[in-house]
Structure 1
Amino acid sequence: MKLYRYLTGPDDSAFCKRVSSALNKGWQLSGSPTLTYDPEKKTVICGQAIVKEVVGVDWSEDVTLSEW
């Protein structure tokens, strides 16, 4: 089964660490990152899609993506 996640957050080192952590757990980047500006918070927001192929797991609503 292929899992999909979309990580978002302010464009800062914490966001980069979240993406790096996912990559080190076997997730792969899927597509280019996205950026948008939040005028209320006056900050840039990043987004990055990631995917991971897992064997022996069937999809259900109980799957917790962050545990993979």
Structure 2
Amino acid sequence: MKLYRLLTGQDDAAFCHRVTDALNKGWSLNGSPSMTFNTQTGQVMCAQAIVKEVEGKDYHPDMKLSEQ
């Protein structure tokens, strides 16, 4: 089964650490990152899609994808 997540957050070290943590837990980048500017907060926001192939599990909408 293939799992999908979209990590989002402010463009800062914390966001990079979240992506790095996911990569080290077996997730892979899926496509290019996206960036936008929030004019209300003055922050650059990022998004990165990640995917992971897992064996022996059945998908259910209640799954905690971040725990896979």
TM-score (normalised: structure 1): 0.98
Aligned AA (1:52) = K
SS of structure 2 residue aligned to 1:63: coil
The RMSD of aligned alpha carbons is 0.5
Q: Tell me by how many angstroms 1:30 deviates.
A: 0.1
Unaligned runs of 5+ in 2: none
Aligned to 1:33: 33
Matched, 1:3 2:14: no
In structure 2, the partner of 1:50 is 50
Q: Which amino acid aligns with 2:22?
A: A
| Displacement after TM superposition at 1:64 (Å) | 0.7
CA distance in 2, matches of 1:60, 1:42: 38
In 1, Cα distance between equivalents of 2:62 and 2:49 = 21
Give structure 1 stretches of 5+ with no counterpart. Answer: none
Q: How far 1:62 moved relative to its partner?
A: 1.9
